A = this chain, B = another copy of it.
Amino acid sequence: MGKASRNGKALAALATGRLRQAGLRPTRQRVELAGLLFLDCDRHVTAESLHDQVTKSGVKVSLATVYNTLHQFTQAGLLRQVIVDAARSYFDTNTGDHQHFFLESEGLLIDIPGESIAVAGVPTPPPGLSVDRVDVVVRVRRT
C-alpha cells in the first residue's frame, strides 16, 4: 500500500468520525470535503475555492452540494461564516474566538488570535438588544 493511499484512508477515517460526532452522515462527498477542510491547518474557503480544490483532487462534487455542505457544517458548529466581502461568503475552519486581517484585492483572510486583540469601550446596546458577538476586521493593503 502506497503512502498516499494510506494517508487517504487515515484521513477518511478521521473525517468520518468527525462527521458522525456532528450528527452528519459520512457520505462520500462530505468525507472528501471534511478531509480537505479539517485535517490540515486552519483554513478560509469560499464555496468556489473549495469546489475547485475538490474537483482538482479528482473527486466529483457538485457546486450545489458544496454550498449545502458548507452550510450544514456551519450549522453543526464545524465552520464559522465570515462576512468581510459583499461579493462572496467565506467560511473559516477556526471556530474559536479570533478576528481577521482581510486583504480584499486577493480575497485573503488571516487569523488574529482572540487573546491578542481587545475591544474596549463598546457601549451598552440600546434597550431590548444584547451583544451576540464582536467582529473585528483589520482591512489591509499591499504596501
User: Which of A5-13, A34-42, A72-80, A134-142 forms part of the interface with chain B?
Assistant: A134-142
Q: Is A116 an interface residue (CB 8 A)?
A: yes
Give this chain's copy count: 2
In the bound complex, CA of A91 to CA of B65 (Å): 33
In the bound complex, CA of A103 to CA of B118 (Å): 22
Cross-chain contact A133 with B122 (CB below 8 angstroms): no
Q: Which of B83, B89, B143 contacts A84 (CB 8 A)?
A: B83
Minimum C-beta distance from A98 to chain B (A) = 11
In the bound complex, CA of A32 to CA of B85 (Å): 29
Q: Is A2 an interface residue (CB 8 A)?
A: no
Write out the residue numbers on chain B whose beta carbons fall within 8 Å of the beta carbon of A140. Answer: 125, 129-132
Residue-wise interface mask of A (100-116) relative to B, using a CB-CB cutoff of 8 A (1 in contact, 0 not): 01010000001010001
Write out the residue numbers on chain B whose beta carbons fall within 8 Å of the beta carbon of A126. Answer: 101, 110
Cross-chain contact B129 with A103 (CB below 8 angstroms): yes
In the bound complex, CA of A68 to CA of B142 (Å): 28
From A132, which residue of chain B is reached at the shortest CB distance?
A: B139
From A141, which residue of chain B is reached at the shortest CB distance?
A: B132
Q: Which of B112, B128, B130, B141 contacts A122 (CB 8 A)?
A: B112
Cross-chain contact A137 with B134 (CB below 8 angstroms): yes
Q: With A117-B122, A129-B141 given, can you name 16 additional A-B contacts, CB distance below 8 Å?
A: A83-B83, A83-B85, A86-B89, A101-B129, A103-B129, A117-B121, A118-B120, A119-B120, A122-B136, A130-B141, A132-B139, A132-B141, A134-B138, A134-B139, A135-B139, A137-B137
